[in-house]
Amino acid sequence: MKPNDCFYKIYKPSEYIADYCLAFLKCWEGEPPKGLVKSYFGFEAIPLDKEIIQKEPWLRDLNEQFSIDNIGILTMKPFNSYDWHMDGSRGVCVNMLLSHTQSHCFFGEQRDYINKNFCELEYSPKNFYIFNSQMPHCVFNFNSYRYIFSVEFTAHKDILSYEDVLTWIEKKN
């Protein structure tokens, strides 16, 4: 297992969305207001207006190529983990870590009945990552809320794969 099989850092940092989301998150301390969040596969998600895609040039291009369905901020409470899994319907997504104190995202392959080989996605500030949601992955979050900007495509895993998006991105680099 190689890191590029699991995730890929986008060549261009966020020009708008990171600052927009961080300013939005400063409106409260800690736990987001209940009226904002929706349950989303074990996360609490804050949906965002897709129009902000237009203010991020590479994301606008990505949307023209692959059609983005939803965008939002995924929240994770302190001292929580999201267990090893592969996403049910998503083959690929795009993520950007917005805020955390200490959290870890791992991808892994089962080596034998009890051991895994793994690699860590160490997010860089304001950088988007293509995320292979069909590779087993997990998240461990420690002593503060963790916020991730996440992009979900209209096409599901049977139609759009991580490799499809990765190939397109590598041609643009």
In this predicted structure, the answer to whether residue 18 has a pLDDT above a threshold of 80 is yes
pLDDT tens sequence across 115-161? 999 999 999 989 999 999 999 999 999 999 999 999 999 999 999 99
- pLDDT band, residue 30 (cuts 50/70/90): low
As a CATH number, domain 3-172 is: 2.60.120.10
pTM: 0.92
User: Given a cut of 80, is residue 169 above it in pLDDT?
Assistant: yes
Rounded CA-CA distance 151/55 in Å is: 15
For the cut 80, the answer to whether the pLDDT of residue 28 exceeds it is no
Please report, for the chain, the start and end positions of each structural domain, with discontinuous segments joined by +. Answer: 3-172
